[in-house]
Chains A and B, each alone.
Chain A
Amino acid sequence: MSELPKSDEYFSNIDFTPPKTGWMDTPTVIRDGMFCFAAKPKSVKTLDLPYAREWNPKHDDWKLPENWKEIIYEGMRDRLDRFRTFKIFMDICVRCGACADKCHFFIGTGDPKNMPVLRAELIRSVYRNDFTTFGKMFGKLGGARKLTFDVLREWWYYFFQCSECRRCSIFCPYGIDTAEITIIGRELLNLLGLNIDWIATPVSHCYMTGNHMGIQPQAFVDMMDFFVDEIEVCTGIRVKPTLNKKGADILFVTPSGDIFGDPGTYTCMGYMILFHYLKEKYGLEITWSTYASEGGNFGFFTANEVMKRLNAKMYAEAKRLGVKWILGGECGHMWRVIHQYMGTMNGPADFLEEPVNPITGTKFENAKSTKMVHIVEFTSDLIKHGKLDLDPRRNDHLKVTFHDSCNPARGMGFFEEPRYVIKNVCNNFYDMPVNCIKEQTFCCGSGSGLNASEDMELRLAGGLPRANAVKYVNDKHGVNMLACICAIDRAVLPPLMGYWVPEVDVTGIHEMVANALIIPGEKEKTVNLRAEEIPDKESDPDGYYVRPAFSGR
């Protein structure tokens, strides 16, 4: 990712015209900047996954096992028997093309194999050849092709150019979900040890130390202590976060990315301030855990069994600590896993109570089986009942828009809760155009484990549709802050904005909540969590305030 052209130049070079040669006859070239490095053998070994070895995607020899074709064939057969989705999605596509220009990777690269329909055809063609009569009879003419090394390479390249965001699936008249196809495609690749390192290593960390970053318990405590000091500087309050505490009311689990990198750290401080407030004011005790210190789940991008192995820690820890229920932080795919998979995989959670907000008495009916509540659901309930003292003027220097993360949007329908919280903690909120938000939201371009640094060109290209919609509200309303509820977003949107819309910064919602929160005993706040000066109303009577350059990156 050394020499990327300027953003406008990059943009004007995007071309949707497909090549002259048919897609089966157009060889796949694995290009720098567009792929992630191969999984390190050590990480693959930690979870006893097969065929851990050194290999290089750019080499012609991937050191595949002798019988790799047989492994893939058996893997496909097995998954056709276990997943109705896979079987139906292989059979019923009519290639109407409605999905073609809905993928952010296609829009940003113009590569026809990034059209969702073609991404699926990469595997469907082999399915036809091996599992259908017509495919066997008509071969290439029937859209079938044999599995060869080149086909496998193509699978690997393009299944790691899909962020499993599911935007295409809402346009498909049959609900064909490319994420499901990519998930199964990646499971098949994992049978041959063909993961990427940006997924395999976090998975191995998460398995051994409890979080993707590999933060050991004592280091986790150190980082929390650092945040405690920072919070004191800004608010004059010394918060006391609770860790691994038995008998706490609620266990809190959030992505470890927020412990680790800006601007997620500010969101993390936001959680700590909120929990301090709730403890001081209402006596609610919320504990963090170092064992279950990861909300995200890169196992989801590896194989469903691996996802289950990582996810199991949340219930195990809740049971050990004897909490009533679990609160989950701001994260995208974490919430897809919790909402659509967790209860099925690791439930029933009958050792927990049906979640009730002890401060407001609200029963979270929608979470009564899985017993996990989203922190934005929790906070919006608190705000609705007037349980938080908020001064939204403290965020008056922000003109905010909201990026719906793919997974909570299309895997939950999480639209109004975050908007409600934002509108209560800041005064200037502007939504992006309707084709780019809510169920039609665009991916950040780096989801599903693609947020490495070596594939930066892919990420910036894939993030273009999102960035372009942000630019629209930046031009129109002077929006200078992009709010999100996802740790990957917080990690990847800053460089994306830096490339396409440098005027706009990135925040989690709970950073804004904490900045607006009037904490009992706080000193007069002059700076926010980023140590930026809070705008002075009197010197800025019109409420117009140009945001100072942010130096925290």
Chain B
Amino acid sequence: MNVKYMFSLIAVIVLILIAYVGVEAAGLQVLFGIIIPYLAILTFIVGFAYRVMDWARSPVPFRIPSTCGQQKSLPWIKHDKIENPFTAGGVIVRMFFEILFFRSLFRNTRCGLDKGTKITYIWEKWLWLAALAFHYSFLTVLIRHLRFFLEPVPVCLQWLENVDSFFQVGLPGLYLSGAVLLAAVTFLFLRRIYLPQVRYISLASDFFPLFLIISIAITGILMRYFTKVDVVGVKELAMGLATLHPTIPDGIGSLFYVHLFLVSVLFVYFPFSKLMHMGGVFLSPTRNLPNNTRAERHINPWNPSVKVHTYKEYEDDFREKMIEAGLPVEKES
């Protein structure tokens, strides 16, 4: 088992060293500050779009939603419009809860074997909570970073920052999102290590993004609270990238380039990996279709024509016996 996370851990350490040495010893600021970020963004956008279009290219031959509530049937039976949607509107609400609140994950329970006599299903919402905390804090961090790319900084970003730094601890204000992100991603990592079943199914590609994100969060936190990176310089570089007039200002520490490089790696890695669940969740046919196949015919574009055993052939096989048993037949002999 060790080899899987050790490989991923070493891979991330090597990436950190590459950026550090590249900037510190070889002076490759242009490479790490301009070329790689541009390539990364390009790879991300093209790759993401390609993957989604590739999925969409395959048809959905059958309408097979998993139903999690009462179907629409007789008028006096209460229909569960969200968990078992009958209309596109119902599907939108179902997807809303699925995507924004991880509805299915919220169902989670843990199975236990109680002294070999009873099976128990224990309330288990930690995975749901950690997943929600992780995704929302990551989103907040991402949005917060827009301040580097926008001038003037929009007022809504200011609000977000004010809320995020609600717990002011000296200066600069402590961002809640950063702390939650690090805590949640660490929980997800520890879960992979300590739960025997999850450890058993985990691949190197499950650990790699975790280490990557942990490292991104740590380098970010280090820059903000400890090494005090030159924020003005960073903003100048970011604005340069955003306005397509890239520059490399002097005096930004190499920690920043490590941070930026790891983010670039994450962007490049994204479309090739399981992180594509971000796009896939929208397209999953068991969730994004209404359960109304008996009321509205679903069309399969490749519906095959098949050979069937017709009634005529059947009667030919059994005519004598059918007549003898008193069954009506089409042809008497």
Contacts and interface: CB of A to CB of B under 8 A. Distances in A.
Interface of A: 8, 11-14, 16-18, 22-23, 48, 80-88, 91-98, 100-102, 107, 112, 115, 117-118, 121, 132-134, 138, 141-143, 166, 169-177, 180, 207-210, 216-218, 221-222, 243-246, 290-291, 304-305, 308-309, 312-313, 316-317, 320, 338-341, 343-345, 347-348, 362, 364-370, 372, 377, 380-381, 384, 409-417, 420, 433, 435-436, 439-440, 464-465, 468-469, 472
B27 interface: no
A172 B306 CA distance: 34
B172 interface: no
Given A170-B107, A420-B77, 18 more contacts: A8-B116, A8-B117, A16-B196, A23-B200, A85-B60, A102-B111, A132-B272, A138-B205, A174-B281, A218-B324, A244-B327, A316-B310, A340-B63, A370-B293, A384-B74, A413-B83, A414-B71, A417-B74
B104 A175 contact: yes
Interface string B37-51: 000000000000001
Interface residues of B, number: 104
Contacts of A245: 328
Contacts of A312: 306, 308
Contacts of A166: 66
12 contacts: A13-B116, A82-B302, A92-B280, A100-B198, A133-B272, A134-B273, A316-B310, A316-B311, A344-B293, A366-B72, A369-B295, A370-B294
Given A309-B307, A409-B67, A413-B84, A101 B62 contact: no
Contacts of A87: 54-55, 58
A167 to B, nearest CB: 10
B67 A91 contact: no
A323 to B, nearest CB: 14
Q: Top 8 A-B pairs ranked by shortest CB distance?
A: A12-B116, A413-B71, A92-B280, A413-B67, A175-B286, A218-B325, A101-B111, A435-B121
Contacts of B308: 309, 312-313, 316
Interface in B134-164: none
B297 A369 contact: yes
B321 A216 contact: yes
A347 B215 CA distance: 56
Contact of A173 (B67, B71, B76, B281): B281
A364 B72 CA distance: 10
Contacts of A133: 272
A176 to B, nearest CB: 7
A352 to B, nearest CB: 12
A344 B71 contact: no
A134 B205 contact: yes
Nearest to A141: B204
B300 interface: yes
Contact of A411 (B67, B115, B325): B67
Contact of B66 (A121, A169, A344, A369): A169
Interface string B268-289: 0000111011001101111100
Interface in B289-333: 291-300, 302-304, 306-311, 314-315, 317-318, 321-322, 324-328
Contacts of B328: 244-246
Contacts of B74: 362, 364, 377, 380-381, 384, 417
A369 B299 CA distance: 12
Given A88-B280, A369-B297, A416-B78, A173 B304 contact: no
Interface of B: 1, 3-4, 7, 51, 54-64, 66-74, 76-78, 80, 83-84, 86, 98, 102, 104-105, 107-111, 113, 115-119, 121, 127, 131, 195-206, 272-274, 276-277, 280-281, 283-287, 291-300, 302-304, 306-311, 314-315, 317-318, 321-322, 324-328
B304 to A, nearest CB: 5
Given A92-B281, A340-B293, A472-B118, A121 B201 contact: yes
A186 to B, nearest CB: 15
Nearest to B191: A97
Nearest to B86: A366
A115 B71 CA distance: 29
A67 B295 CA distance: 44
B295 A366 contact: yes
